[in-house]
Chain A
Amino acid sequence: MEKSIARYIWTHTRGQQLWILLVVAVSMIPYFLSFDLPKQIVNGPIQGQGFDQPGATQTFMNISFNLPWLGTVTLFDGVELTRMQTLFALSMVFLLLVIINGLFKFYINTYKGRLGERLLRRIRFELVDRILRFPPGQFKRMKGAEVSSMVKDEVEPLGGFTGDAFVQPALLGGQALTALFFIFMQNTWLGLIAAVMVGVQAVIIPRMRRRLLVLGRERQITARELAGRVSEIVDGIGTIHAYDTSNYERADIASRLGRIFKIRYDLYQWKFLVKFINNFLAQLTPFLFYCIGGYLALQGRLDIGQLIAVISAYKDLPGPLKDLIDWDQTRQDVQVKYVQVVEQFSVDKTIDPAIQAIAIKDAGSLKHPLAAVNLSLADDSGAKLLERVSVQIHPGETVAIVGGAAGGGDMLAEAFARLTWPESGKVTAGGDDLLELPESVTGRAISYVSSDAYFFYGTLRDNLLYGLKHAPLKEAVYEGSGAAHRKWQIAEAKLAGNPDYDVNSDWIDYDAANATNRDDLFTPVLSVLDTVQLSKDILDLALRSTVSPNEHPGLAEGIVEMRHALREELEEAGLSSLVVSFEPGAYNTEATVGENLLFGTATGPAFIGKAIGKNAYFRSVVGRSGLDRVLFDMGYSIAENAVELFADLPPDHPFFQQLTFMTADDIPEYQLLLQKLKGKGFDAASEDDRGQIIRLSFRYVEPRHRFGLLTDELMAKIVDVRRQFHDGMPESMRGDIERYDPEHYLASASLMDNILFGRISHKHTDGSKRIRSIVSSLLNSLGLLERVIDIGLDFNLGAGGKRLTAVQRQKLNLARALVRKSEYYIFNRPLPGLDHRLQDEIVRDVLKLVRRDGRDPAVVWVLSNTGLANLFDRVLVFDRGLLVEEGTHAALVENNGIFKELVSS
């Protein structure tokens, strides 16, 4: 990249800079005119020069030029005006000039702002573009947060400076010179004084500011390092907690902040010192004017109008001058920042842009064998990881790579994936160096998976289909204002040197996923998810999620229908006792008393959480029926039982897990409460105590807690109160509760709860597992599986996919590659977190899957489980960076070599 910021700006904004310079030059004319006017007004109409006789007139607005050769050219003869008229006319001209000057300023500032923002966009894009083209090794030495702080923050001032880079010195210089020139015109001596003072300022101030630049550079680097450290803390939070090193991190951050503070404080001190001196120098000049100019005026050698004009003109000098000096400061500052950033981004051996050129049409495939030719790989320290390995992978063959941990097979796989660049030798595809082939060929024909998976923030679907997004294949269609906006986007992107690919286009290469469009994508995707055994996890994610029926029309109806189907299915399998469903006229013994009473999900502030106990309507219904007394007695028994059972146990005892309606801390509280209420009953209890006791009864489930507190009579009463509660509910509260209705979908409950519409019985240990498998097969047979999985695919993975488990991430990582149609699949120990049985199943299924529909890709699999090598056509054995054995599984077993050792160990 260009080393000098001025040249960089000039190269990219030459035309605009020249235009704005021209505008600035033109703006100087009214600016200059407005200087002379005050003097004219004071001397003319106010003091009466030229209006000696009452009724005298003067010519106003005579526009004529004395041009060489042509003589006097008169454009406008002017009009004759009296003293009073002249005063108003000149004042009006003054006002007009003020407006014109203001408009010029407005135009110039807007133009400059746009110029700067475009350049900022350009440079930011260029930097990110460079990151995308860095050689892989570069990323071992970079901290992501530091790079992003460079792209985001450190180049920011460049945008502001761009507009000012050439215009500001021209404008301010012009203004300063104009002012100076005007002072000279009034009085040469005063002009000289002003010029000398300006010279002193121009020399001294920039010198003093040099130190500011040094400090500024330090501030930039320390701030960038701070960003890097903060992101390290975020990424390494697990390690920090595990080793109790949080205080070490605190110390490190505090010392960094201390350093930054010192630098910044130095910066402030120095800055204000410079400011003080600058101001002093600026104020010194008017002192000389008053002193010397006043003396001259008193002596009569200078007329007062002239002195006022000089002083008034001088008012306009320090401003531009100060701005000019500030501009120079910014220029140097920005130059330092720019060089800092450019140095960080100047990396040898970046990837040629042509290799990453976008290929909308099919980029062609790799029909040739993939080969390592005399390939040696080394790590950063120069240690050899792979030595002079030559091997060929033919299209369509399956190759297993086995070997010890540092065998080198995994490095070969990385070289095939272009993640590690050769130290010597090369990796070729049909004679072409793999690194010189366009990425549109290699990145599509070769699918690489390793254990270290990165996922982008977004949904599971986005990440699963990420490997298909090579190019905007189907342009998004815009209408009306959308189309205009898109047009603007394209034009603006071009002006800032950005590409105009539309991120809203359909980037998914359906063809590569064995589909033709969005609608038939599901089948191939599901078969991939089944192969890596992830579909069950996704189904569970979906079943646990709450779905708005409006966003998924038709699904809610399907789910409600499924309730009946599930009931039949369970009956058929003799498992009808597995789920106890909610029925409007019956008590559900597997649900809590509270659920039975409310018979709905609280969705609004009237009933949610503790509000229900304070809700006047609810209390009146319960109180009228006398249920509150019954529930009070019930809660009292529960408290008695709980205190009896748990009073002696220490609070951290594992048995407390079973106590669902209280925590260990509540026990002593209830102990006191029981003593207080002993033998007194409902009427004697205070409002608060009643609430405390009744609360317990709400969480009671008879089959689970088994205290024997629910009688048939009580259940009937609860159902009756439930009916009263719902029937008499005021209109204003109806929106705050979603009532259980066998024929309606519950928007506030999870999909699974909606399907079951009941509670799983406590009697069966593996009840929920069995239900899950029944539900899954039922969804499939009812044709709802696709839609439900679709909801699961909407699950947001969080930062780096951290909302999935490690095993799920590895499976998803594998799935992401398998979704793509490739000529070569390179699997580099993709599933280290899985147990052997599962690995075995998945390897077999993957080998089957990649050959679906008569396709015949080559598979290279670096195995962590050597026992699976017999599934492959050929086995490569690596040991300490060397390819030591090669051949079919059977031959290697006979050979009695290292392979046999590996298998037996």
Chain B
Amino acid sequence: MLLKDEVQMLRRVPLFSNVEPGKLKLLAFTSDRVSYDPGEALFHQGDTGDAAYVVLAGKADILVDSSTGPIKIAEVETNSIVGEIAILCDVSRTATVQTTTPLEALRIRKEHFLKLLTDFPEITIEIMRVLADRLSHTTSELSEARSRARKDPELH
């Protein structure tokens, strides 16, 4: 796949839809193009985060370790970004991302990603929107889980 195709794909990613094509090309050029086989992990929970990934094609599961083994908590869709939390807050990876189909992604290194945020406020705002969206999602799931727990106390 060529740079110009990647730019086309990046434009379809909501995060970058407002960024001008010239900048997207630069982003694509400075990122590494990586591909994974099904079942391969992009990264593991607990690793130090050094990059974020924009999934160009393919699907992956987001897994969290628990005492009973990994639990799938979400799925990564095409044209979405994963792994940004670890590089934004300097924490280790909060989850494992494992592919379920062959997957193509752009790997954006931490320092490039941060530079991108300072250079392009529109990306920053978009990232904030994604994060806020996820937070509200998580909050509603949490309250749902709590209310369920209150209803069936014998489960605990």
Chain A residues near B6: list those with CB within 8 A.
706
Does chain A have a CB within 8 A of B132?
no
Does chain B have a CB within 8 A of A705?
yes
> Nearest Cβ distance between residue B19 and chain A, in whole angstroms?
14
Contact residue among A646, A706, A763 (Cβ-Cβ distance under 8 Å from B34): A763
> Nearest Cβ distance between residue A782 and chain B, in whole angstroms?
27
Given A653-B115, A708-B3, the answer on whether A658 and B34 have CB atoms closer than 8 Å is no
Does chain A have a CB within 8 A of B111?
yes
Q: Is the CB of A708 within 8 A of B4?
A: yes
Q: Is the CB of A655 within 8 A of B26?
A: yes
Minimum CB distance partner of B6 in chain A: A706
Q: Is the CB of B112 within 8 A of A706?
A: no
Q: In which size bucket is the chain A interface? A: 20 to 34
Given A706-B3, A706-B6, A765-B107, the answer on whether A655 and B115 have CB atoms closer than 8 Å is yes
Chain B residues near A707: list those with CB within 8 A.
2-3
**Which residues 636-663 in A have Cβ within 8 Å of B in the complex?**
641, 644-646, 649, 653-655, 657-658
Does chain B have a CB within 8 A of A764?
yes
Does chain A have a CB within 8 A of B101?
no
Chain B residues near A658: list those with CB within 8 A.
29-30
**Which residues 118-142 in B have Cβ within 8 Å of A in the complex?**
none
**Which residues 533-558 in A have Cβ within 8 Å of B in the complex?**
none
Interface-centre pick from A655, A703, A708 (highest chain B CB count, 10 A): A655
Chain A residues near B112: list those with CB within 8 A.
654-655
Does chain B have a CB within 8 A of A762?
yes
Q: Is the CB of B33 within 8 A of A654?
A: no
Chain B residues near A646: list those with CB within 8 A.
26
Contact residue among A645, A708, A763, A764 (Cβ-Cβ distance under 8 Å from B29): A645
Given A708-B2, A708-B3, the answer on whether A703 and B33 have CB atoms closer than 8 Å is yes
Chain A residues near B115: list those with CB within 8 A.
653-655
Docked pose: A646 CA to B23 CA in angstroms: 10
**Which residues 45-85 in A have Cβ within 8 Å of B in the complex?**
none
Chain A residues near B11: list those with CB within 8 A.
none
Docked pose: A459 CA to B25 CA in angstroms: 49
> Nearest Cβ distance between residue B86 and chain A, in whole angstroms?
15
Docked pose: A752 CA to B22 CA in angstroms: 39
Does chain A have a CB within 8 A of B35?
yes
Q: Is the CB of A706 within 8 A of B2?
A: yes
Docked pose: A655 CA to B30 CA in angstroms: 6
Contact residue among B22, B26, B28, B33 (Cβ-Cβ distance under 8 Å from A763): B33
Minimum CB distance partner of B4 in chain A: A708
Docked pose: A578 CA to B30 CA in angstroms: 21
Minimum CB distance partner of B104 in chain A: A763
Docked pose: A654 CA to B28 CA in angstroms: 14
Chain A residues near B4: list those with CB within 8 A.
708
Chain A residues near B155: list those with CB within 8 A.
none
Q: Is the CB of A706 within 8 A of B33?
A: yes
Chain A residues near B30: list those with CB within 8 A.
655, 657-658
Docked pose: A641 CA to B7 CA in angstroms: 14
Minimum CB distance partner of A648 in chain B: B22
Docked pose: A654 CA to B32 CA in angstroms: 14
> Nearest Cβ distance between residue A720 and chain B, in whole angstroms?
25
Contact residue among B25, B37, B107 (Cβ-Cβ distance under 8 Å from A645): B25
Contact indicator per residue, chain A 552-585, by CB within 8 Å of chain B (1) or not (0): 0000000000000000000000100000000000
> Nearest Cβ distance between residue B83 and chain A, in whole angstroms?
12
Give how many B residues have a beta carbon under 8 Å from the other chain's beta carbons. Answer: 21
**Which residues 651-687 in A have Cβ within 8 Å of B in the complex?**
653-655, 657-658
Docked pose: A774 CA to B30 CA in angstroms: 29
Docked pose: A654 CA to B35 CA in angstroms: 24
Chain A residues near B73: list those with CB within 8 A.
none
Interface-centre pick from A653, A706, A708, A765 (highest chain B CB count, 10 A): A765
Does chain A have a CB within 8 A of B89?
no
Chain B residues near A706: list those with CB within 8 A.
1-3, 6, 28-29, 33
Chain B residues near A653: list those with CB within 8 A.
115
Docked pose: A645 CA to B21 CA in angstroms: 11
Contact indicator per residue, chain A 857-894, by CB within 8 Å of chain B (1) or not (0): 00000000000000000000000000000000000000
Q: Is the CB of A765 within 8 A of B26?
A: no
> Nearest Cβ distance between residue B34 and chain A, in whole angstroms?
5
Interface-centre pick from A644, A658, A762 (highest chain B CB count, 10 A): A658
Given A655-B112, A706-B1, A707-B3, the answer on whether A645 and B32 have CB atoms closer than 8 Å is no
Docked pose: A657 CA to B107 CA in angstroms: 15
Contact indicator per residue, chain A 276-299, by CB within 8 Å of chain B (1) or not (0): 000000000000000000000000
Docked pose: A703 CA to B107 CA in angstroms: 14
Docked pose: A763 CA to B31 CA in angstroms: 12
Docked pose: A653 CA to B26 CA in angstroms: 12
Q: Is the CB of B26 within 8 A of A645?
A: yes
Chain B residues near A708: list those with CB within 8 A.
2-4
> Nearest Cβ distance between residue A623 and chain B, in whole angstroms?
29
Q: Is the CB of A765 within 8 A of B29?
A: no
Given A645-B26, A654-B115, the answer on whether A763 and B35 have CB atoms closer than 8 Å is yes
Given A654-B111, A655-B26, A655-B115, the answer on whether A762 and B3 have CB atoms closer than 8 Å is no
**Which residues 19-71 in B have Cβ within 8 Å of A in the complex?**
22, 25-26, 28-30, 32-35, 37, 51
Chain B residues near A764: list those with CB within 8 A.
34-35
Q: Is the CB of A765 within 8 A of B3?
A: no
Minimum CB distance partner of B105 in chain A: A765
> Nearest Cβ distance between residue A362 and chain B, in whole angstroms?
50
> Nearest Cβ distance between residue A319 and chain B, in whole angstroms?
79
> Nearest Cβ distance between residue A662 and chain B, in whole angstroms?
12
Docked pose: A644 CA to B21 CA in angstroms: 11
Docked pose: A581 CA to B29 CA in angstroms: 25
Chain A residues near B25: list those with CB within 8 A.
644-645
> Nearest Cβ distance between residue A904 and chain B, in whole angstroms?
25
Q: Is the CB of B29 within 8 A of A762?
A: no
**Which residues 63-115 in B have Cβ within 8 Å of A in the complex?**
107, 111-112, 115
Docked pose: A574 CA to B34 CA in angstroms: 17
> Nearest Cβ distance between residue A862 and chain B, in whole angstroms?
30
Minimum CB distance partner of A646 in chain B: B26
> Nearest Cβ distance between residue A759 and chain B, in whole angstroms?
15
> Nearest Cβ distance between residue A580 and chain B, in whole angstroms?
14
Minimum CB distance partner of A577 in chain B: B35
Minimum CB distance partner of A764 in chain B: B34
**Which residues 701-722 in A have Cβ within 8 Å of B in the complex?**
703, 705-708
21 A-B pairs within 8 Å (CB atoms) are namely A574-B37, A641-B3, A644-B25, A646-B26, A649-B26, A654-B115, A655-B29, A658-B30, A705-B3, A705-B29, A706-B1, A706-B6, A706-B28, A706-B29, A707-B2, A762-B32, A762-B33, A763-B33, A763-B35, A764-B34, A765-B32
List 7 additional contacts besides A655-B115, A764-B34; criterion CB under 8 Å: A574-B37, A641-B3, A644-B25, A645-B22, A655-B26, A708-B3, A763-B34
